[in-house]
Structures are given as C-alpha cells and as structure tokens.
Structure 1
Amino acid sequence: MSGGGSNTHQRTCCGGCCTLLISLGFVILIYWAIFQPHQIRATVDYAELSNLTVSNASSSPVTATYHVAFNLSLYNPSKRVNIYYDTLDAELLVRGAVLSPAAAAAASPTEFYQRRRTSQAVRLEFDAGKGVAVPGDVAPQLEAEVKAAAALGLELSVGVRVRYVFGSIKIRQKPRVWCEVSIPVPSSPGGLGVAGSGGPCWVKY
C-alpha cells in the first residue's frame, strides 16, 4: 500500500509541475503577443572622411591612415517598450574586410536609455592616425579608388547590447547593425569627404 501511495504522490507532484510550467509559458506567450518589442531601426544620417592616405601597393603590408565619423540614428518603434543600450561595439570594414582592428572606435554616447517611439543620435568615430594594415585582397582596389578620387564604399558594423524594459520585465538582446555608406574621397590629402545620408541600415537579431 505504501508503494502505491508513493507513486500517487509522485504523479501529483509531476502533474502540479507540468501545470505550473504550462501556465507560466502561457503567461509569457500572452506577454510576448501583446507587448512584443519591435526591432530597432537604424539609418546613417551623416558621414565624413578625412586624413586619408594609402601606402603604395608594392609595400608590405599596405597601410592606411584615416579619420571616419558617422552619425547613426537609432529608432525605437515600440509602443510600450523602452530600451536600455548598454554597449555599442563598432567596426569599420571595406568589402567585408575589417579595416579597424587597431583603430579604437569612439561612441558618443556610449550607453543611454531610449523611450518608446523616439530616436537617438549616436556619433561613431574611427581614428587610424598611426596607420592600420589593409587586408591584402582589398588593398589594390582601395588604392585605386583613392588615386581616382572616387567614392569610397565603407561598411559600418555595430554590435549592440540592449535591454527591452516593460515594467519590471527585462529582455536582453544582442542585435547587430550593418550599414553601407559611400563617401567621396577627399580631393587633397588634408581634405574632407562628406556623405549627407547613407540611407537605411540592416538590423539582425
């Protein structure tokens, strides 16, 4: 008899745990359906390029010096959910190759709180005044574009750590923002190339 009572007790405990888990899952599902945070949107409003030089392709490795700044606009389209931006880690790329491994990106502001349906402007600056190595597979194209004073195609990649906040509930996410920007090459070494708008960016969660 004692064995049967023990089995009944175990089944009751298991049934109670299953009911609790199902109820909790249902509550989370309802929350997500009603208050689901919308993905952030991003655009490059302004970009500038200055102090650009690229060493001759015959040298090894090819190096580039530059100063690049972006004004990135981040928009929270959610109706009920606010966002904490904890970190922004940015990289500068050219044709998919990282051009900023030794050039620290400065973000301003570095972290901030964004209310629902508002935009926040972030300035991202890359300074490679001491020179940075250019990947060998893109060095010839980069040198040719600089010599031709053509528009230089750059890519901005920003890893973001965010917390979606609704009341006491917080959901952490790590979206990545990817933007393509074409900036005119300055006509002189000390000149300034400006892109008034880089267009929309892609945000991947």
Structure 2
Amino acid sequence: MQQPPQEIHAYGYSAGAAPAYGVGVVPAASDASPRPDQPPHQPPPPRRRLSPFRIFILAFIGACAIAGVVALLVWLIYRPSRVQVAVHAATLSRFLVNSTAAPPVLSFNLTAGLIITNPNRRVGVYYDLLHAEGVYRGQSFDRITLPMSFQAADCADRVRAVLEGTSAVAAGVSVVALGVVGDDDQAAVFNVDLWLDGKVRYRYGGVMTTSASTLSVKCPLVLQLMVPSRRVECTVNL
C-alpha cells in the first residue's frame, strides 16, 4: 500500500512554506535596506598629508619645549646665586686738580683691594668682560680692565684695582664743584664711587653654560688722603 508523503517541518513551518524574517533566518545582504532615518554610508575622507613647512614648525616647537624643560630642571637643581663683591680696603694717595691747565686736569692715584666671591657650590662663573671705573661727583676719572676670566665654584678671589694717572675735567664741570684743591689737604673727605661692569656666564657643572648677562656693581667709598678705608660691601645687579 502506498503511504502518503510526510511533511517535514522546520522551526514550526512546513518545507513548502516561506520563512518569515526574524524567525530563525537571517535575510540576505541584498534584501536588507537602510532605515529611512539613517544616512547612506560614505567612505571616510582621505587623510591630509603634512607639508614640509608644517613638519618643520612642529619640530621646532617641540625642540623649544624640550629645551625649556631641560633648562628649568637644571636651574631647579643648581639654583645659581649672583656673585658677591666687596672692597677690603682702598687707599687714595693722590687726588688734586691742576686748575692752571686748560682744560683743568685731575690727577689721581686710587688703589682698591677687591674680593669677588662665587657663592655657588656647583656653578662656575665666566667673566667675559670685567672693568673697574672711578667716578667722583659724576665725573669719571679712569677705567681699567680687571684680570678675571673664570672663577670656580665656591671660591673667593682677591683682585687689585689700580686707578692712577690724569684725566681732563669734563666741559661744564668747575674746579669748585669738584671740591679738589690740592694734595696738602689731608682732612678732606672724598666720596668716590668704584663701579664694576662686565659680562658673566654661569657654567652648570659639565651640563650647560648660560648666555652672557650684564653685571653692574657699585662700591661707595668714603676716602681721605693716605688713609685706608674700611671694608665696604658692594651692591651687585645682575
């Protein structure tokens, strides 16, 4: 006897029935359609390549930032202090004006013993230029170069500044205004300013050396002829 064909069911449906989406069957890609509220898919824009000029600018900014960080770290580690200057003693052995000359001439002989101290324990100092100048009542009467080139860390050096010779009195400055009458006036008191100026650089161990900075030092001296002065601490601007 011939038996009737059996029906084969899959997921609750017969073999001849069309399956519905979402019930055990994934629709083909061709059948999927984008949602109305979604924009169509677009490829990403191509990446913009940096020009050589932009690369150079970025590299320069990065190098400056690294250099600044390194300099800050070095400064925080070493913490440099400014140099210290004092006049141990100064002697004025001659200071007079020859009023018969035209223009008047100031003759002088001033010897000052300077103590220049580098208080830093790990920082050396280069003196690219260092000058000493005598000034009396606004009148500069001599300017010399001091023999200082390098000073080691935590060191004090003694330097002699010898100002001697003659200098013409500047136009408009009278002999009376200078108050210098002759070398026989031993009781006269002269307020002479000894100025130091120059360029200094700091060396941080073997790591780096700073750029040159301007050094300006003022040492106010109260002098009498042939009488050594007391120790004077100078004002240092750096």
TM-score by length of 2: 0.68
Q: Pick closer, same or farther for the CA change 1:11–1:70 going to 2, 3 Å.
A: same
Residues 89 and 229, structure 2, Cα contact 8 Å, conserved in 1: yes
Instruction: Determine which structure has more spread, i.e. the larger CA radius of gyration.
Output: 2
- 1:68 shift after superposition: 0.7
CA shift for structure 1 position 142? 2.6
Contact 1:43 1:201 in 2 (8 A): yes
Whole-Å Cα distance in 2 between the matches of residues 13 and 202 of structure 1? 46
Deviations 1:59-106, CA, capped at 9 Å, x for gaps = 642211111111111111112101122332221101232122xxx536
For residue 139 of structure 1, the aligned residue among 175, 179, 185 is 175
Shifted more, 8-17 versus 155-164: the winner is 8-17
Matches of residues 82-97 of structure 1 in structure 2 within 5 Å?
A: 82-97=124-139
**Greater relative contact order (Cα < 8 A, sep 6+):** 1
Mapping 1:53-202, distance limit 5 Å: 53-56=96-99, 60-100=102-142, 105=144, 107=146, 110-128=147-165, 131-135=166-170, 136-137=172-173, 139-143=175-179, 147=185, 149-166=187-204, 167-171=206-210, 172-185=212-225, 192-197=226-231, 199-202=232-235
Separation (CA, whole Å) in 1 of partners of 2:220 and 2:69: 41
**What is the SS of the residue equivalent to 1:26?**
helix
Distance in 2 of aligned mates of 1:4 and 1:67 = 79
**Number of aligned residues:** 190
Deviation, structure 1 residue 24 = 1.9
State which of 84, 91, 96 in structure 2 corresponds to 1:48. Answer: 91
Alignment RMSD, CA only? Answer: 2.9
Structure with more of its chain in strand, by fraction: 1
Select the residue among 46, 52, 72 that pairs with 1:29.
Answer: 72
1:32 counterpart SS class: helix
* Identity across the alignment (%): 23
Of 119-128 and 17-26, deviating more is 17-26
The farther-off stretch of 156-165 and 61-70 is: 156-165
